[in-house]
């Protein structure tokens, strides 16, 4: 049974998930190598793959340490399945790097609940999100989560000024790097990416099928997640609320992104994986969970080989 295999987080589970991610990653990028490739490009692709695997491991670490889910492999499995269902995600280096930076930021933001080293954590989180915006401008919307966390865990006047300092630090470093490396200023026009609201590509079956399944999963599991928030302890409730808020922010990032080819949805996958994992961790609807999990496992193969 699929749910029995992924019900616990073990090295074997994680190895299978990483292997699945690697197979689809190389499959998605192989088409660009048919006319030959150089060694530098190969190492670049492998480097991006390692960053994607690191994203999966960071997600697993955040969820375990902060008890966002039970100790199962569902969140890592779901994140991997969502990614491999969209070949555009696997081919887009910028969104993979940006999403990893956002994950690093989320790790620091959630740890604010301990009320220790508050200003350092706020600085680190803002710093990582600022770096993420260099690769995908609209990930700047995740700054809202930093302020949401300050409001919930550290609503002190000085703490509200820390994000400004962190952002200014990244701006200064970026300008200095461009002056040294390219002998030119890094301007707002270099940073800004104009939004695109043309969703016509979502009508393509390669996007429509996984997107429809994922949205159906979100609707189905979101009610369970709200119930989990209501039953959670007072200390845990704001953290779970932050996961839901990050889902809304990720939807905003996808909405304003300059491309509408599916790659912009990667920011949506992390909170959705956590929310959906809470549903699979429950004890009820075992047969239905098997059907849903089987559908999710089959989905990337159908999209890759039959659409």
Give the residue from 185, 213, 216, 233 showing the smallest Cα distance to 299. Answer: 213
Question: Which region holds residue 231: left if phi is over 0, alpha if psi is between -120 and 50, else beta?
Answer: alpha
Dihedral, CA of residue 67, residue 73, residue 74 and residue 78, to nearest 10: 120
Whole-prediction pTM value?
Answer: 0.94
What CA–CA distance (Å, rounded) separates 63 from 103?
11
pLDDT at 155: 81
pLDDT digits (tens, 9 = 90+) for 143-198: 999 999 999 888 888 999 999 999 999 999 999 999 998 888 888 888 999 998 98
Please indicate whether residue 155 or residue 257 has the higher confidence score (pLDDT): 257
Give the residue from 202, 174, 182, 214 showing the smallest Cα distance to 262. Answer: 202
What CA–CA distance (Å, rounded) separates 6 from 4?
6
What CA–CA distance (Å, rounded) separates 214 from 225?
16
Please indicate whether residue 215 or residue 69 has the higher confidence score (pLDDT): 215
Region 105-132 average pLDDT: 94
CA distances from 150 to 104, 111, 241, 245 (A): 17, 12, 14, 14
Token reading at 246: 């990050």
Judged against a pLDDT cut of 80, whether residue 1 lies above it is answered with no
Judged against a pLDDT cut of 90, whether residue 213 lies above it is answered with yes
User: Confidence band (pLDDT; 50, 70, 90) for 37?
Assistant: low
What CA–CA distance (Å, rounded) separates 245 from 249?
6
Token reading at 219: 């609707």
What CA–CA distance (Å, rounded) separates 212 from 227?
24
CA distances from 239 to 58, 114, 152, 199 (A): 17, 11, 9, 32
Judged against a pLDDT cut of 70, whether residue 34 lies above it is answered with no
Judged against a pLDDT cut of 60, whether residue 214 lies above it is answered with yes
Region 216-233 average pLDDT: 88
pLDDT digits (tens, 9 = 90+) for 49-81: 999 999 999 999 999 888 888 888 999 999 999
Give the residue from 292, 91, 303 showing the smallest Cα distance to 210. Answer: 303
User: Confidence band (pLDDT; 50, 70, 90) for 2?
Assistant: confident
pLDDT at 28: 87
| Alpha helical stretches, state H, the chain | 2-5, 11-30, 39-65, 74-84, 87-91, 93-110, 118-135, 143-153, 157-182, 188-191, 205-231, 237-256, 266-280, 286-305
Judged against a pLDDT cut of 90, whether residue 43 lies above it is answered with no
Judged against a pLDDT cut of 80, whether residue 4 lies above it is answered with no
DSSP-derived secondary structure letter, 54: H
pLDDT at 35: 60
Neighbours of 92 (CB within 10 A): 22
What CA–CA distance (Å, rounded) separates 161 from 173?
19
Q: Per-domain residue ranges for the chain?
A: 2-114+196-305
Judged against a pLDDT cut of 60, whether residue 33 lies above it is answered with no
Sign of CA dihedral 278, 284, 288, 291: positive
pLDDT at 79: 96
Side-chain-side CA neighbours of residue 24 (13 Å): 27
């Amino acid at each position: 049974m699929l749910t029995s295999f992924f019900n616990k987080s073990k090295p074997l589970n994680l190895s299978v998930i990483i292997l699945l991610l690697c197979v689809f990653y190389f499959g998605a990028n192989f088409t660009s190598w048919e006319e030959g490739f150089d060694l530098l490009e190969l190492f670049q692709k492998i480097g991006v793959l390692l960053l994607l695997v690191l994203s999966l491991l960071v997600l697993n670490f955040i969820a375990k340490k902060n008890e966002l889910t039970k100790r199962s492999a569902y969140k890592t499995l779901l994140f991997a399945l969502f990614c491999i269902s969209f070949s555009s995600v696997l081919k887009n280096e910028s969104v993979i790097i940006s999403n990893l930076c956002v994950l690093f930021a989320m790790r620091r933001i959630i740890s604010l609940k301990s009320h220790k080293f508050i200003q350092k954590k706020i600085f680190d989180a803002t710093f990582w999100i600022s770096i993420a915006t260099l690769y995908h401008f609209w990930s700047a919307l995740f700054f809202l989560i930093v302020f949401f966390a300050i409001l919930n865990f550290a609503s002190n006047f000085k703490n509200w000024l820390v994000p400004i300092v962190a952002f200014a630090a990244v701006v200064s470093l970026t300008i200095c790097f461009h002056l040294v490396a390219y002998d030119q200023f890094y301007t707002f026009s270099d940073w800004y990416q104009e939004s695109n609201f043309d969703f016509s590509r979502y009508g393509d079956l390669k996007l429509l099928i996984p997107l429809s399944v994922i949205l159906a999963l979100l609707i189905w599991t979101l009610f369970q997640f709200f119930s989990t928030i209501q039953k959670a302890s007072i200390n845990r409730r704001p953290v779970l609320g932050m996961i839901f808020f990050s889902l809304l922010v990720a939807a905003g990032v996808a909405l304003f992104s300059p491309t509408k080819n599916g790659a912009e949805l990667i920011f949506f996958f992390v909170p959705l994986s956590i929310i959906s994992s809470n549903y699979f961790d429950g004890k009820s609807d075992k047969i239905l969970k098997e059907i849903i999990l089987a559908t999710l496992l089959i989905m990337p193969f159908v999209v890759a080989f039959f659409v």
